[in-house]
Amino acid sequence: MHDAQRRALLRALFWLVCLLPTAAIGAWSYSLRTDGHRRAAEERIGAALGMRVTLEAIRYPQPGLVLLEGLRAYDPETDKPVLAVTRVEAEPAGDGLQLAAGEAEVFADDGSRLFAALERRLKRELPDAETRLGVEIDQLTWHAGGEAQTLTHFEAVLGPTESGRHLLVNFRTFDLQKPIERDVPASLRLARTGTSGGAETTVELDTGAMPLPAAMIAPLIPAAAQLGPSARLDGRLKLKHAPQGWEGVIAGSLRDVDFQRLLGPHSSQQIWADGDLRITWAELQAGRIVRMRGGVTAGPGQISGGLVAAGIEHLGLGDPRGMPSAHAPLLFDKLDLDFALDADGLRILQRDASRPEALLWHRTTAYWTAPPNVPQSPANLLRALAPERELLVPLAGTTSGLMGVLPLPEMSPPRSAPAGESSQALQPRLRLRDPGGEVERR
């Protein structure tokens, strides 16, 4: 081979082996810094979250490690912020992906979007739903209606199980006013499993050493939003949402509850006060309360005179001769009682030993006193909450929500037909009455 041919061959090899790969890597590196590449990453993340996502920058500091800076997620309908993370590191970990962040913020007013994204992964509605995903956040600030709640050592794992998929979350609470990290972590588990009767969702929550803002779980359990902006949850729950409804157990306390917001959707009468709702034990089956033990403490505040009168009339909470004549609000110092609810009925019990038999009082006047310790129909509670209606069948809109969860009484044994009427078929009859008049149906 001539010398000129050798030089030409070496030049060709140099271009092929050195310059072209170097140029390709340079072009690829440049493309990773372009706005087009960043927008493509925003679209992929946004599709996974179901939200509009923006990134300040995306970098690749070393092979296998992706650095996302200034990640923001917004509600696609209202364009309100939902999630803000200063810096996210993503890298492969075994058969999945591991994410790590220093600081992050969740805005709970629109936090339901995050739970919707989790639900899509739990239901396998995303192409990469089988990928195991781990998340570690040093400090997570949760803006939940009232004061922001700071969570530390936030860890989450989302991935497949033998029967479905689950999400495991552990974190510790941190009080900014008293900067003491709590030793016992809070934990949350969401699981989606398939059964012969249909898919089931399991929710397990343990609040750990410090009560959590109820607004934190409002995206998961919408009824928590009715407890008020300052309400806190302390306790444990394990619930399963089967095709027939929720079932499971709850034990704990709801503190600093706004009773006006709690009763508002269920009653035409009101209590204007904050207080606590204690749930010593509650068991649910098929969406209904099977048995429940607990107590209520509230005050000072005001209560509708009509509600005081209805409690006396329908729940036996005092002498009918002492019912208020007007429905104007009444001042009260304290409402304090225990209750038990099961298939036998509702029991209302005195709690404060310093006020014999008193359940609701103002100074020396007891508005409500403890009734006899015998069960009464849960329908009496509905009658008290909607006293302006004759509740033969409680169809009032304010009580319809409670009807669906109160325990059902045992069915009475069938009666024998009276003598001489055995040949006549019994005709079912339903009578409904409301302020518009009475309708009788057969």
What end-to-end distance do the CA atoms of the chain give, in Å? 110
Stretch (H or E) spanning 311: helix 305-315
Q: Please give the chain's pLDDT, 442 residues, in tens.
A: 566 655 555 555 544 455 445 544 444 444 455 677 788 888 888 887 778 899 998 888 888 888 999 999 998 888 888 889 999 998 988 778 899 999 999 886 655 667 777 777 777 776 666 778 899 999 988 886 667 788 888 999 988 887 788 889 998 876 555 555 556 788 989 888 876 667 788 889 998 877 888 877 776 676 777 888 888 889 998 988 877 788 999 999 999 999 998 887 777 778 999 999 999 999 988 888 889 999 999 999 999 998 999 899 999 998 888 777 777 899 999 999 999 998 889 999 988 777 878 999 999 999 999 998 899 988 888 888 876 544 444 444 445 556 566 665 554 444 443 444 434 444 444 444 444 444 444 4
pLDDT recorded at residue 84: 92
Bridge partners of residue 303, in order along the sequence: 271, 330
Closest CA to 244 of 282, 285, 190, 203: 285
Q: Which two three-digit tokens encode residue 156?
A: 């989450």
Six-digit token string for 124: 């396998």
pLDDT at 118: 76
Q: Kindly report the pTM of this predicted structure.
A: 0.71
**Residues belonging to the chain:** 442
Residue with tokens 């805005």: 107
* Strand partners for 433: 438
Sign of the C-alpha dihedral computed for residues 75, 81, 82 and 84 taken in this order: positive
pLDDT of 257? 92
DSSP state of 132: E
Task: Classify 316 in phi/psi space as left (phi over 0), alpha (psi -120 to 50) or beta.
Answer: left
- The continuous run of DSSP H or E covering 358 comes out as strand 358-362
Residue with token string 């089988």:
130
Coil, helix or strand for 429? coil
| pLDDT score recorded for residue 55 | 92
Q: What SS3 class is residue 229?
A: coil
Contact (CB, 8 A) for 440 and 431: yes
Annotate 362-415 with DSSP letters as a single string.
ETTEEEEEPPPSS-B-THHHHHHHSTTS--SS---TTTHHHHTTSPPPPPPPPP
DSSP 3-state of 310: helix
CA distance 292 to 269: 24
Spacing of C-alpha 88 from chain mean position: 27
**Is 37 in contact with 58 (CB distance < 8 Å)?**
yes
